Structure 1
Amino acid sequence: MGLLSQGSPLSWEETQRHADHVRRHGILQFLHIYHAVKDRHKDVLKWGDEVEYMLVSFNHENRKVQLVLSGEDVLETLQEKGERTNPNHPTLWRPEYGSYMIEGTPGQPYGGTMSEFNTVEDNMRKRRKEATSVLGENQALCTITSFPRLGCPGFTLPEHKPNPKEGGASKSLFFPDEAINKHPRFATLTRNIRHRRGEKVAINVPIFKDKNTPSPFVETFPEDEEAANAAKPDHIYMDAMGFGMGNCCLQVTFQACSISEARYLYDQLATICPIVMALSAASPFYRGYVSDIDCRWGVISASVDDRTREERGLEPLKNNRFRISKSRYDSIDSYLSKCGEKYNDIDLTIDKEIYEQLLREGIDHLLAQHVAHLFIRDPLTLFEEKINLDDANESDHFENIQSTNWQTMRFKPPPPNSDIGWRVEFRPMEVQLTDFENSAYVVFVVLLTRVILSYKLDFLIPLSKVDENMKMAQKRDAVLQGMFYFRKDICKGGNAVVDSCSKAQTSSEPAAEEYTLMSIDTIINGKVQPEQALSSMGRCGLNGACAVSASWQSV
C-alpha cells in the first residue's frame, strides 16, 4: 500500500465537492512531472517486490484458526526496530487494508546483476523471520491469498461481530469494521466507495458443486433486503471491500531506462498478466465455502466497484457524466506504445476536456488518452490538509486518482524532484505459501522484462483478447485446462523495438492469423511442431527465454 497521508479525512460529500479541483490540479501536477523528465534516459534497472502477509493465530486445542487484529502494533514495532533505527535496514514494512495484514519490501531496490537476483529469496526469508519474531505464542506470518474463513462468524482474534445496521464504514453482514486497518484512509475508502455507489458493493462468486452441494445453492437474507436482492443462486455472496482488499497479493515494480521503454514494457507485460495470474492462482476459498474459481481478481474488482447504477448502464445518465465499462480495479484499457496502437480495440471512455488539454501541452495521443481515461474517476479519499498543494513540487492529487485505478499494470511517472525514473508495476500475481515460490515468480517477471528488451520480443494481441484471457485465467484449473490467446511469432527480427515503436505505422489492422489459442504449457515451455519449428514459441517458450537471460551476469 505504500506510505499513507496523515490528516483529517473528508466525508464523501466534502470529497465530491473537491473532485474537480483534485482532477484539475492532478493534471497540472502530471504535466509538471512530464515536462521535467520526459527526456530522461539511461536510468539503470532497479526493481523491488511487495509481499502482503496475514497474521494468523492457531488454537490447537480447539482446532481453530483466526486472523489476528494486531497489524498496526506489529507494524509499529517492525518500523521502530528497522528503518527508524537504521536507514539501510534490509527490509521495509508498510500497512495494508486489513488490520490483520502487513506488507514487506526490500529495504533498497535490487539491480540487474545475477548476484542480486540470488538474494531475493533470502530477503523474503529475512522479512518472514523478522516479523515472526514479534508475534505472540501460536501466531504465524502467512502468505496466503485468501483466508478460507474470511467473513465467517468469529474469524478474527479478538472476535468481533459485524454491524450492518449502524453507522459503520462497510455495513457488512459478515466483515466487521474492526478488521479494517485503523488508519483513517482505509475506513474512509470503504465508506466513500459505498456512498458513491449508492449501495453496498455486491460480490457473487460461483460455488463449487460436489455431491453434497444443494442444487440450486441458495442463501437467504430475510432481514436484509439489499442482500436478498443482490445475492445470486449458486453463488457465494459477499458485501464488503474487505473481501477483496483483505486478500494478499505479490507485486513487482521495475525502473525503465526511459519513458519509451516503460511504455513498451507496460504494453508487452499487459498480455502476460492473465498468463502469470493463472500460473499463480491460489484463492479458491471465500466466506467458508469452496468456490468454482481459482483467482481473487474478480472478487477484488467487485469489492471496490464504486460505479453508480447510471455508470453501470442500469439507469439513464442523469447525475453522472460517463458510462464506465469496468470497475476501477480491472485490466488495462489501452496500450501506450505506438506498436500497440493498432491493437487498441476496446472502446475507451475518456474525459475529452482533459484529453484536449494534454494534447495542447504536447502530450501524444496515446499517453493523453491513457491519463484522460484514468481521470474519469472521482477521488475516493481526500484529507483536509492536502487540498491546496504546490503543483510544481507535489503530486498528491495526481496520485489520488492514479493510485486508485488498480489495474493489472500501472505506468508510474517519477515522483517530483527525485532521482527515481519511469517505472512499471506488474500487479496480477497471487501470493504463494513459501518464500521460494514468491521469489521465483518475482525473478521470472523481472528476467522476462530483460528478455523482452534484449530480443525485441512482441507479445501484442488485440486488447479485447487480453480481456478474454483475464476471464479465462480466473476459472478453475485454468492453468491446466484453459486456452489463452497468444501471439504465434513473438520475434521482431532484430529491430530496435523501443525506437521502432515511436515510428511505427499504425493504420493497418491486426491480422487474426497473428495469434491463436494456446495452453499455458505451450506458452511457457514451448512445443515443437513441424509447422512451428522455426517460430520463437515453438523453440522454447517463455521459460526457455528466461533461462537464457538468467545465464547472463548483467543485463
Structure 2
Amino acid sequence: MGLLSQGSPLSWEETKRHADHVRRHGILQFLHIYHAVKERHKDVLKWGDEVEYMLVAFDHQNKKVRVVLKGEEVLEALQEKGERKNPNHPTLWRPEYGSYMIEGTPGQPYGGTMSEFNTVEDNMRKRRQEASSLLKENEALCTITSFPRLGCPGFTVPDCKPTPVEGGASKSLFFPDEAINKHPRFSTLTRNIRHRRGEKVVINVPIFKDKNTPFPFIETFPQDDEAVQAAQPNHIYMDAMGFGMGNCCLQVTFQACSISEARYLYDQLATICPIVMALSASSPFYRGYVSDIDCRWGVISASVDDRTREERGLEPLKNNSYRISKSRYDSIDSYLSKCGEKYNDIDLTKDKEIYERLLKEGIDHLLAQHIAHLFIRDPLTLFEEKIHLDDANESDHFENIQSTNWQTMRFKPPPPNSDIGWRVEFRPMEVQLTDFENSAYVVFVVLLTRVILSYKLDFLIPLSKVDENMKVAQKRDAVLHGLFYFRKDICKGGTAVVDGCSTAQNGTETDTEEFTLMSIDTIINGKEGVFPGLIPILNSYLENMEVDVDTRCSILNYLKLIKKRASGELMTAARWMRDFVAKHPDYKQDSVITDEINYSLLLECNNIANELSECPELLGSGFKKAKYSGNKTGSSS
C-alpha cells in the first residue's frame, strides 16, 4: 500500500498548505538519490511477489459469509511470531487498506537462478498456512479479488453500520469506516481524497443484464443528494475508496541491474499489463450484483479519483492549475526508455517548473517529464512529525507523491543509503483462488522479463493503444472475445529467436503497420503467419537454459495453465464465478448475489484453494498438489 509513516495526520486543509513544500523537497530528495546511484550497475536480478488476502467468516447455520474486521490483530500476531523474532523468517506481513485484509510477501527476495521459480508456490503455501493457523474454526483466509457483497447490509463481522451523514472518513451509504484499517494513513487518505475532490468519489459499474434483471436498472437513494446525482441507470453505484482499495491483487517487483535496464523493463512490461490483467480476470461481482466487467481496475481507479471538477474538465480552471485526464490510479502516461520515446503519443500534463529544474540538474527529458507528471498531484496524507526532513538521507516527501500515483507500472528509485537497486513494479494482476495459480502468473511474468532482457525483445506500441487495450481487458470475457493492439515484430533488427518470431526482412517491416489487433490466444500461444506467441518463446528460452528436472516440471505446469486460460480451454476465475452463480438454485436470473449464493460461492472458493474440492474447469489436471490444508472451516454441504 506504499508509504506507512507514523505520527499525527493532518487534515486536508493543513496538508494543502504544505503541498508545495512536499513537492519541492520531494524533488530534492529524488535528486539526491538519482545523483548518488545513477551510475550504479551490476545489481543482482532480484524479485518478489505480493499477495493480498481477505479474512472471512462462515456462518454455516444461516448460510452467510462476511468479512472479518481483525486484520490488524492477525497482522500483529504474524509479525510477532515471524520477522520480529527472526529477521530471516521466510514470510513478511504488511497492512492493507481494509481492516479485513493483510498482505504477504516472501521474507527475502528471490534471486536470478532458475531454481528460484520452484520455491514460489511453497512460500505462498507457508503464508497461507501461517495466517490460517491464527484463525478460528469458522474463519478462512481467501485470495479473492472482490468480496461479492462488499457494501451490502451486514457484510462485516462485527456488524458495523455506515455513517453517510455523521462525521467520518468516507461518509459512504454502504461502506462503514470500521472496515478501513486503523492505521491513520488509510482513513486520512479516504477523508482527504473526498475533501480534495469536493465530493464523494463516484463509481458506476455496468450491471450484467440477465433474463430477469430490471431494465432499465435504477437504484434510488432519496436520503443522499450526491448519490441521486451520481448514480447512473443500468449501473451499480458505489461511493467510497473501500470499494476499490478494499479489493485484493497480485503484484511483482523486480530489481534491475541498472537504471537503464529498469527503464527498458518498465516500458516493455507496460504493454503486457492489459494482456495479463485480462488473463487473470477474477472480479465480476460488486455490491451484491453481477456486473458486466471482469476486472477491478476501473473500480479502483474511480475509488481514489481525487480530481476536482475543474481538473476533470467539468468547470473552467480557477482554483486548480491543470486539467488532468486520468485518476491517480490508472495506466502509465509515458515510456521512459529511448526506444519508447517515439511511441509517447499521449498528451502529458506536467509541472513545468519541476521539469525545467530536473533538466538543469542533468536529468534527461524522458525521466524528467515522468517525474514532473507525477508531481502535478498533491500529497494526500501528511504527518505533522514528517514535515521537515533531511533531504539528503530521507525520501518520505518523494514517496508521498510517488506512492500515491498508483499506475499499471511503477518505476522505483532505490531508497536512500541502501543496497537496494533500481526497481520496477508490475501492478495490474488480479489475485487467484489458489497458490498454484498465483505462482503461475508470477512465474510467467518473471520469466517473461528474463526473455525480454536476454532476447532484447520489443513490445512497444503507441501508448494510446495500450490505453485502449486497458479498456478492452476489463470487459466481460475479454480473454476470449477481446482484440488487443500488439506489436507484430518483437525481435529487434529482425533476428529470430524462435521460428516465426520475426516478420521483418533486412530490418524493415514487410507490413506498413508495426502493430495489429490480436486475440489473447494469438498473443500468448501464437498463430502461424501472424505472431509466434509468448509461450513458445518462453519454451524456447527454457530449452536453452540449464534447469533441474523439478524446476522445469513446475515451470511447464505453470505455463500450461497460462496457455489454457488464453485458449479458453480453462476458464478465468471471473468466468468460473459467473457460471457458478448462474447454476445456483437460489439465483433468479436477476443479477442479484444473495447471502446464500455468496456463501456457497466463497465456500467453494475456499475449498478449491485448500484442495477440498476439485475444479477442472479452472485448474485442469496434473498440476502440483498442495502439501497441506490451511483451512479450518471445511466443506459444509
- TM-score, normalised by the number of residues in structure 2: 0.83
Q: Does 1:468 align with 2:457?
A: no
Q: Is the 8 A contact 2:270 2:332 kept in 1?
A: yes
> After the TM superposition, which residues 144-223 of structure 1 pair with which residues of structure 2 at under 5 Å, given as runs?
144-223=144-223
Q: Is the 8 A contact 1:3 1:94 kept in 2?
A: no
> Following TM superposition, by how much is the alpha carbon of 1:549 offset from its aligned partner in structure 2, in angstroms?
3.3
Aligned to 1:546: 538
SS across alignment from 1:428: strand
Aligned to 2:26: 26
> Following TM superposition, by how much is the alpha carbon of 1:201 offset from its aligned partner in structure 2, in angstroms?
0.1
> After the TM superposition, which residues 253-402 of structure 1 pair with which residues of structure 2 at under 5 Å, given as runs?
253-402=253-402
Aligned to 1:48: 48
Q: Distance in 1 between matches of 2:158 and 2:434?
A: 27
Question: 1:168-222 deviations in whole A, cap 9, x for unaligned?
Answer: 0000000000000000000000000000000000000000001110010000011
Q: Distance in 2 between matches of 1:550 and 1:28?
A: 44
Q: Does 1:523 align with 2:523?
A: yes
Q: Is the 8 A contact 1:304 1:328 kept in 2?
A: yes
Q: Distance in 1 between matches of 2:512 and 2:206?
A: 32
> Following TM superposition, by how much is the alpha carbon of 1:5 offset from its aligned partner in structure 2, in angstroms?
1.1
Paired AA for residue 86 in structure 1: N
Q: Distance in 2 between matches of 1:437 and 1:493?
A: 35
Q: Distance in 1 between matches of 2:378 and 2:13?
A: 12
Q: Distance in 1 between matches of 2:82 and 2:215?
A: 53
> After the TM superposition, which residues 65-214 of structure 1 pair with which residues of structure 2 at under 5 Å, given as runs?
65-214=65-214
> Following TM superposition, by how much is the alpha carbon of 1:494 offset from its aligned partner in structure 2, in angstroms?
7.5
Q: Is the 8 A contact 2:3 2:400 kept in 1?
A: no
Aligned to 2:616: none
Q: Is the 8 A contact 1:205 1:235 kept in 2?
A: yes
Q: Residue 553 and residue 4 in structure 1: after superposition, are their counterparts in 2 closer, same or farther (change >3 A)?
A: farther
Aligned to 2:414: 414
> Following TM superposition, by how much is the alpha carbon of 1:274 offset from its aligned partner in structure 2, in angstroms?
0.2
Paired AA for residue 97 in structure 1: Y
Paired AA for residue 301 in structure 1: S
Q: Distance in 1 between matches of 2:203 and 2:113?
A: 43
> Following TM superposition, by how much is the alpha carbon of 1:314 offset from its aligned partner in structure 2, in angstroms?
0.1
> Following TM superposition, by how much is the alpha carbon of 1:3 offset from its aligned partner in structure 2, in angstroms?
6.0
Q: Is the 8 A contact 1:2 1:94 kept in 2?
A: no
Q: Distance in 2 between matches of 1:244 and 1:436?
A: 25
Q: Is the 8 A contact 1:114 1:550 kept in 2?
A: no
Question: 1:496-551 deviations in whole A, cap 9, x for unaligned?
Answer: xxxxxxxxxxxxxxx9600000000000000113xx4xxxx23xx11122223344
> Following TM superposition, by how much is the alpha carbon of 1:114 offset from its aligned partner in structure 2, in angstroms?
1.9
SS across alignment from 2:67: strand
SS across alignment from 2:493: coil
> After the TM superposition, which residues 455-494 of structure 1 pair with which residues of structure 2 at under 5 Å, given as runs?
455-493=455-493
Q: Is the 8 A contact 1:252 1:442 kept in 2?
A: yes
Q: Distance in 2 between matches of 1:71 and 1:372?
A: 36
Q: Is the 8 A contact 1:251 1:425 kept in 2?
A: yes
Q: Distance in 2 between matches of 1:426 and 1:549?
A: 22
> Following TM superposition, by how much is the alpha carbon of 1:98 offset from its aligned partner in structure 2, in angstroms?
0.1
Q: Is the 8 A contact 2:48 2:106 kept in 1?
A: yes
Q: Distance in 2 between matches of 1:15 and 1:520?
A: 44
> Following TM superposition, by how much is the alpha carbon of 1:136 offset from its aligned partner in structure 2, in angstroms?
1.2
Q: Distance in 2 between matches of 1:264 and 1:207?
A: 39
Q: Distance in 1 between matches of 2:2 and 2:539?
A: 32
Q: Is the 8 A contact 1:204 1:237 kept in 2?
A: yes
Question: 1:386-438 deviations in whole A, cap 9, x for unaligned?
Answer: 00000000000000000000000000000000000000000000000000000
Percent of residue pairs identical: 88
Paired AA for residue 220 in structure 1: T
Q: Distance in 1 between matches of 2:212 and 2:406?
A: 37
* Range moving further from structure 2, 430-439 or 543-552: 543-552
Q: Distance in 1 between matches of 2:5 and 2:26?
A: 16
Aligned to 1:36: 36
> Following TM superposition, by how much is the alpha carbon of 1:4 offset from its aligned partner in structure 2, in angstroms?
1.6
Q: Distance in 2 between matches of 1:35 and 1:412?
A: 15
Q: Distance in 2 between matches of 1:70 and 1:203?
A: 27
Q: Distance in 2 between matches of 1:550 and 1:479?
A: 25
Q: Distance in 1 between matches of 2:259 and 2:67?
A: 42
| Runs (5+) with no aligned partner, structure 2 | 496-510, 548-637
Q: Is the 8 A contact 2:3 2:403 kept in 1?
A: no
Aligned to 1:436: 436
Paired AA for residue 360 in structure 1: K
- TM-score, normalised by the number of residues in structure 1: 0.95
Aligned to 1:499: none
Q: Is the 8 A contact 2:67 2:155 kept in 1?
A: yes
> Following TM superposition, by how much is the alpha carbon of 1:161 offset from its aligned partner in structure 2, in angstroms?
0.6
Q: Distance in 2 between matches of 1:126 and 1:115?
A: 18
Q: Distance in 2 between matches of 1:411 and 1:494?
A: 29
Q: Distance in 2 between matches of 1:513 and 1:33?
A: 40
Q: Is the 8 A contact 2:3 2:396 kept in 1?
A: no
> Following TM superposition, by how much is the alpha carbon of 1:2 offset from its aligned partner in structure 2, in angstroms?
5.1
Q: Distance in 1 between matches of 2:189 and 2:270?
A: 27
Superposed CA RMSD = 1.5
Q: Distance in 1 between matches of 2:230 and 2:184?
A: 28
